Amino acid sequence: MKISQAKKKSDSDYFDFIEIKKTPGMANEYFVSLYSHDGKSFFLSREDDSVLSSDKIDEIISVLQKIGFKKAMLYF
């Protein structure tokens, strides 16, 4: 799900929880999974549809805060 779409859905309390996980095969890189109240899950992606990932947790957290999320589970 694109960041802009996640922002709109976040405003309407669409998501149940957010997870930040390590990218499989890349131990130093993280990505974001979004889980809705109706059981659907999504990868958070940039506007060009590439999955948002980074080796810097603070960059991911900054994006999540800009979207409007107040908490996320981190798996390291």
Measured CA to CA, the distance from residue 11 to residue 57 in angstroms comes to 23
Instruction: For residue 36, count CB atoms less than 10 angstroms from its CB and return exposed for 0-12, middle for 13-18, buried for 19 or more.
Output: middle
pLDDT tens-digit profile of 28-57? Answer: 999 999 999 999 999 999 999 999 999 999
Total structural domains within the chain = 1
- Given a contact cutoff of 8 angstroms between Cβ atoms, the answer to whether 10 and 70 are in contact is no
- Given a contact cutoff of 8 angstroms between Cβ atoms, the answer to whether 67 and 47 are in contact is no
Measured CA to CA, the distance from residue 54 to residue 39 in angstroms comes to 26
Range of the domain at 9: 3-74
pTM (predicted TM-score): 0.90
pLDDT at 62 over 90: yes
